[in-house]
Structure 1
Amino acid sequence: MDLLSYLLDNYGYNEPIFPEDLRNKMMGKDTTLRQNLKRLTDREQIIRFDKGIYFIPRPDSLLKKKSLSVNKIIKKKYLYKEDQLIGYRTGLAFANDLQLTTQTPGMIEIITNKETNIKRVVNLKNRRVILRKPRITVTENNYKLLQVLDLLTNYDKYSEKPLESAKQRIIDYLAPGDMDQQEIQACIQSYPQKTKLALYESGLWDELTRR
Structure 2
Amino acid sequence: MSTAKRIKDKVSSFDEGTTFKYDQLGIDNSEYGAATKAIERLISNDVVKRISKGLFYKPKKSLFGDLKPNEEQLLKPYLYKGDNRIAYITGLSLYNRMGLTTQVPKTVTLACNKKRINTEIDNLKVKSVKSYVDPTDDNIRFLEILDAIKDFKKIPDLDIDNAISQLQVRIRDLNDADRNKLITFALQYPPRVRALLGALLTDQEFNSAFPKLKNSLNPLSSYEFGSLSSSLPTAQNWNIV
The answer to whether the superposition gives a TM-score over 0.5 is yes
Residue 26 of structure 2 is aligned to residue 20 of structure 1: no
SS at match of 1:108: strand
Amino acid at match of 1:98: M
Separation of aligned partners in 2, 1:161 and 1:32: 52
2:132 corresponds to: 135
> Structure 1 residues 173 and 180 mapped into 2: Cα distance closer, same or farther (>3 Å)?
closer
- Give the alignment of 1:63-142 within 5 angstroms: 63-64=64-65, 66-74=67-75, 76-80=76-80, 85-113=85-113, 115-117=114-116, 120-142=117-139
* Residue deviations 1:156-194 (CA, integer Å, cap 9, x gap): 22153344442221122232244263x334311211122
SS at match of 1:17: strand
1:31 corresponds to: 33
Q: Name the larger-Rg structure.
A: 2
Question: Is contact 2:95–2:101 with CA below 8 Å preserved after alignment?
Answer: yes
Higher RCO structure (Cα 8 Å, ≥6 apart): 1
- Total equivalences in the alignment: 200
* Residue deviations 1:128-164 (CA, integer Å, cap 9, x gap): 1122232111234432221122122221221533444
Percent identity over the alignment is 21
**Alignment counterpart, residue 52 of structure 2, candidates 47, 50, 53:** 50
Separation of aligned partners in 2, 1:129 and 1:209: 40
Separation of aligned partners in 1, 2:87 and 2:68: 24
Separation of aligned partners in 1, 2:40 and 2:137: 37
Amino acid at match of 1:179: D
Separation of aligned partners in 2, 1:112 and 1:209: 31
Separation of aligned partners in 2, 1:159 and 1:98: 13
2:234 corresponds to: none
Separation of aligned partners in 1, 2:123 and 2:191: 37
Separation of aligned partners in 2, 1:204 and 1:143: 19
**Alignment counterpart, residue 145 of structure 1, candidates 125, 142, 145:** 142
Separation of aligned partners in 2, 1:123 and 1:132: 16
1:67: Cα distance to partner? Answer: 2.4
TM-score (norm 2): 0.71
1:16: Cα distance to partner? Answer: 0.6
CA RMSD of aligned residues (A): 2.7
Separation of aligned partners in 1, 2:36 and 2:90: 34
1:4 corresponds to: 8
SS at match of 1:136: coil
SS at match of 1:204: helix
1:194 corresponds to: 192
Separation of aligned partners in 1, 2:82 and 2:207: 33
Unaligned stretches of 5+ residues in structure 1: none
Question: Is contact 1:142–1:179 with CA below 8 Å preserved after alignment?
Answer: no
Separation of aligned partners in 1, 2:27 and 2:74: 21
